[in-house]
A and B are shown apart, each in its own frame.
Chain A
Amino acid sequence: MNSKTPLAAMISFALFSTMPVYADDLDALKAELMQMRQDYEQRIANLEQRLKQTETTAKQAQYDVAEVKSAPAPIQVTQNNSRFNPAISAVLNGKFSDYSNDPDDYEISGFSLGEEAGLAREGFSLGESEIILSANVDQLFYGQATIALHDHEGETEVEVEEAFIETLGLSNGMTLRAGRFFSPIGYLNEKHIHAWNFADAPLIYRGLFGNQLSTDGLKLSYVLPTDQYIEIGGTVGNGDQHPGSGEHNGVGDWLVFAKTGGDIGSNHNWQLGLSHWQASPDDREYSGGHAHGGGEAESVAFNGDTDITNLSFIYKWAPNGNFKQENFTLVSEYYYLHDDGKLSHEDELASYDGKQYGGFIESIYQFAPQWKTGLRYDWLGSKHRASDDELLEDADLDATGFNPQRYSLVLDWLPSEFSRIRAQVNHDRSSREDDTQLLLQYTISIGAHGAHSF
């Protein structure tokens, strides 16, 4: 197709450059063209003739094969189990938790925990119940919504976890998404909590985001036309999701990311991701404020600039690439957050420079089609400097050289791909108080069969 332009150029060159001088030659050229055209037409006619003959022979052959079951007529079946309804599924889960310490005293040294970032209540509790709707909207868009219901202090809260539209094959590997979505900041962050390999979030997710970071805004991604998978993209958001804060009229936070990955033989797959997020929080509140002389405690607030960098690595193994029988997954992520600004509490003000970092490494081994086991190690660190140490204390950021760590062991029984019974034990040193935690959990999915990302 691309040769059309040079072709046209060459024709015009051939014609115009020769026309004035060699009129005779032009006639010769015309004659030659006519000749070639005739030849070509002749050849097509021959081909058509041969095709007809072969068709007749083929039909004959079909009659000869009397034994072949008369093939059912090809039909177009509507193979869409939802007809025009969106695909609907619900994820339900329940938990039994037991801790050696009082969960109300739970804290992570050097991190200030938001409201939802604490531990689930002891004993029986209902986890988040999610309703997921998705469908192609029309020829251009796909839409998805995840509505989560959960109890908080005796009341049932409804939360829109995700609600976005996304282009369907915009063009050339581009995809645009708009709405609320899990930010593509890290590997686990983009997955629903129920698809995680452990019953609770990695400590760094709990400490930085209160489990998960979502974005209200736009996401643009581009898959490069290379043999090697390379995807780059970015998001812009309103900047009000923790650790962002405040109302921003324009772009309140932005993120850029890059991912690459591939196969090594048919047994090994890997993916590597890098992302960087920035926001300028207005009055990010730290819940750990201590009341000064009676009355309601006023929170410490942060104003300034925050950036987060993530590095993630995923490796999967399955013999012959057949994940059904046996497989192994290794996920490791590292986060680094930097705050630069001011802390304020009541009338006090202090300049503040904070660093929070940490990561986790988890390995999951599915040793039989219905059984999985896994190990996870979390570690965290922080370095905070403020012109007034009292404010650090008020904000619960006064970690003094203590690095939280946690070891987790999990065992899953998967009666089918729609149900999972899980037992998990944590040895948690989020603070100086060692805690041993036992979590028993069921998670089920009913309704449409969703696809799972890598």
Chain B
Amino acid sequence: MKSFLTTSLFFILFSATAQAEINIFACEPEWAALSQELGGNKVTTYSATTGLQDPHYIQARPSLIAKARRADLLVCTGAELEAGWLPLLQRKSGNAAIQQGAPGAFMATDYVQLTAIPTQLDRSQGHIHAAGNPHIQTSPVMLLEVAKILSMRFQQLDPDNQVYYEQRWTNFELRWQAAINKWQQQVAALQGLPIVIQHNSWDYLIDWLKLEKVATLEIKPGVPPSIVDLNKIVKQLEITPASVVIHAAYQSPRASDWLVEKTGIPKVALPFTIGGNESASDLFSLFDNTLQLLLDASK
């Protein structure tokens, strides 16, 4: 009887800690997926946006306020990507845990070196981000850097499960490194591939794969290019031809389509994040699919 009692005591104790969960509000699907990889069954995740939505233009809608209200941790890109809606959610939520600077507000771009930091801040240059290009999820190397710190944040917030999170991180790091290895071999042929991009969402992918960016259709970020702009690019491409034009699945392909029609170079819609197309269903398949699409288009 007593041994049963003591065992049940321990059972209650351990099952209680095992149920401690971090309720995560991810601003974009890649952070929801990464949190799930690192947190396993100790976290629940919700993504505020899908791969088919432009994360700059999200409404601070009622359902998001309700989710933010109950979140223990925000996992977002930062660098002003969510400037139009996240600060409002933080304020309206009345949730102390997720306010700026609290351990429950994790901004991924705080922990990596961003590129394309504008030297001159002037809105005549389009929708520029003062902190640099925020689209870091297009590089698996950057994701790995963020993952390490995110795992540490989990351990800080839920110390009872520290060992568990450390194991998940080690496990993820191994698998992710192996995947990076595989991807790099797979796309060695893409090195130096001349490409045209529609919006400057791909800087980190281009850096990682050592692609050659020949032109950007949106000369000023966020401003749809004019016919005059596009004609200039067509002229430029006659001198330095490109193999493919890429845009994110959530973006309107109009500008890319126009270029395809004028120049005949193939276009490819890359998923950009999880859910951008049906194949990109987790972090691994996101890059599998992205690289496959690039390889197919470059043939």
User: Could you tell me which A residues sit within 8 Å of B by CB distance?
Assistant: 1-4, 6-7, 10-11, 14, 18, 25, 28-29, 32-33, 36, 44, 47, 51, 54-55, 57-58, 61-62, 64-65, 67-69, 71-77, 79, 81, 136, 139, 142, 166-175, 221-231, 259-263, 266, 269-271, 316, 320-325, 369-370, 415-418, 446, 449, 451-454
Contact with A along B85-113 (1 / 0, CB 8 A): 11110111111111111100001011111
Q: For this complex, into which size category does the number of interface residues on chain B fall?
A: 35 or more
Distance of B198 from chain A, by nearest CB (Å): 13
Docked Cα-Cα span, A32 to B178, in Å, equals 45
A33: contacting residue among B6, B86, B173, B252, CB under 8 A: B6
Is B88 in contact with A451, judged by CB distance below 8 angstroms? Answer: yes
Given A259-B62, A263-B63, verify A32-B95 contact (CB < 8 Å): no
6 additional A-B residue pairs with CB within 8 Å, beyond A81-B80, A169-B96, A229-B63 = A47-B163, A51-B163, A169-B99, A229-B62, A416-B127, A451-B84
Name the residue on B nearest A69 (C-beta). Answer: B141
Given A58-B170, A75-B111, verify A322-B250 contact (CB < 8 Å): yes
Is A269 in contact with B113, judged by CB distance below 8 angstroms? Answer: no
The yes or no answer to B227 lying at the interface (CB within 8 A) is no
User: Could you tell me which B residues sit within 8 Å of A by CB distance?
Assistant: 2-3, 5-6, 9-10, 12-13, 16, 20, 49-50, 52-54, 56-63, 65-66, 69-70, 78-80, 83-88, 90-102, 107, 109-114, 121, 123, 126-127, 130-131, 141-142, 144-145, 148-149, 163, 166-167, 170-171, 173-174, 177-178, 180-181, 184, 207-208, 222-224, 250, 252
A171: contacting residue among B96, B114, B126, CB under 8 A: B96
Docked Cα-Cα span, A123 to B85, in Å, equals 37
Provide the residues of chain B in CB contact with A174, threshold 8 Å.
Answer: 94
Name the residue on B nearest A25 (C-beta). Answer: B2
Is B66 in contact with A226, judged by CB distance below 8 angstroms? Answer: yes
Is B177 in contact with A65, judged by CB distance below 8 angstroms? Answer: yes
Is B111 in contact with A449, judged by CB distance below 8 angstroms? Answer: no
B208: contacting residue among A69, A139, A320, A453, CB under 8 A: A69
Distance of B254 from chain A, by nearest CB (Å): 9
Is B114 in contact with A77, judged by CB distance below 8 angstroms? Answer: yes
Is B174 in contact with A454, judged by CB distance below 8 angstroms? Answer: no
Provide the residues of chain A in CB contact with B98, threshold 8 Å.
Answer: 169
Name the residue on B nearest A323 (C-beta). Answer: B57
Provide the residues of chain A in CB contact with B170, threshold 8 Å.
Answer: 51, 54-55, 58
Docked Cα-Cα span, A206 to B166, in Å, equals 61
Provide the residues of chain A in CB contact with B9, threshold 8 Å.
Answer: 7, 10-11, 14
Given A229-B63, A229-B65, verify A322-B52 contact (CB < 8 Å): yes
Is A36 in contact with B10, judged by CB distance below 8 angstroms? Answer: yes
Is B61 in contact with A263, judged by CB distance below 8 angstroms? Answer: yes
B78: contacting residue among A67, A75, A79, A324, CB under 8 A: A79
Is B84 in contact with A449, judged by CB distance below 8 angstroms? Answer: yes
Docked Cα-Cα span, A175 to B59, in Å, equals 21
Docked Cα-Cα span, A61 to B97, in Å, equals 37
Name 24 interchain pairs, CB-CB below 8 A, sorted by A: A3-B12, A3-B16, A6-B12, A7-B9, A7-B12, A29-B3, A54-B171, A57-B174, A61-B177, A68-B177, A71-B144, A72-B113, A75-B111, A169-B99, A173-B95, A175-B91, A175-B94, A221-B94, A262-B66, A269-B61, A271-B61, A323-B58, A417-B127, A453-B92
